Amino acid sequence: MEKLWFVRGGQVDYSFAHRLQLNLREKVERENIPGFFLLMEHPPVFTLGRGASRSHLLVDESILEKEGIKVYEIERGGDITYHGSGQIVGYPIINLDFWERDVHLFLRALEEVLIHFLKRFEVEGFRLPPYTGVWVNKEIPQKIAAIGVAVKKWITYHGFALNISTFLPHFNYIIPCGISDKGVTSLERITGNSYSLEEREEMEELLAQDLGEVLGFKMEEISRDDFFLGRERRLEI
């Protein structure tokens, strides 16, 4: 079984996380290794994927500037989405030569990871074709996790955003994922429980376990300090 390194990065500025993904994707290609799985949170930002319409950003950027919310246009698939504190963002940077060269299958696998995770909290997540992502409440579907990836030379980057204790009113500033007739929710809203930063970091470890189970990798953690100090270069990977 191939080894996949994962890192729980804490709260990280989005622009730094984006550069980190690009650098790690190059490392995976250069060294022909299975890859990495980054788990982190971001200060409030909106990101627009390759298929995004700027009209799906519903507020003037002067309002966003006043609130300190940045906007990034990036290379992942999909439309506009939101990242903020209380949301776990997962970036699987995976060499599909060590798995399957099938991007659609990879998207379905990420959905399965999130569905497995939600089962731990007795929440039924499901797919809602033709949309990508994970939903809850079959009577009135609401999205709890958005997914959007990019692939270059069969190495994935970008990933998913899972709402745990996310500040949901910020989603009112956009048409999330370009879907105007469906709502957004969070694990906190569903269960009625609040989740501390420490609890969310424990959840990140569970997500890494679920990713390993679904994709068939042996997961091994790099400590946050070692990773951000660059010591991963000396690890046997």
Of 159, 175, 134, 234, the closest CA to residue 46 belongs to 175
Of 5, 2, 153, 168, the closest CA to residue 83 belongs to 168
Structure tokens, 64: 């966003």
199-to-49, 189, 196, 206 alpha-carbon distances in Å: 30, 16, 5, 11
Q: Are 125 and 195 in contact (CB under 8 A)?
A: no
Structure tokens, 150: 């990019």
Instruction: Give the integer Cα–Cα distance in Å for 113 and 115.
Output: 6
Bridge pairing between strands 35-41 and 87-94: antiparallel
Residue type, 138: K
Q: Are 157 and 25 in contact (CB under 8 A)?
A: yes
Instruction: Give the integer Cα–Cα distance in Å for 208 and 9.
Output: 13
The catalytic residues are 177
Helix (H) or strand (E) holding 149: strand 142-152
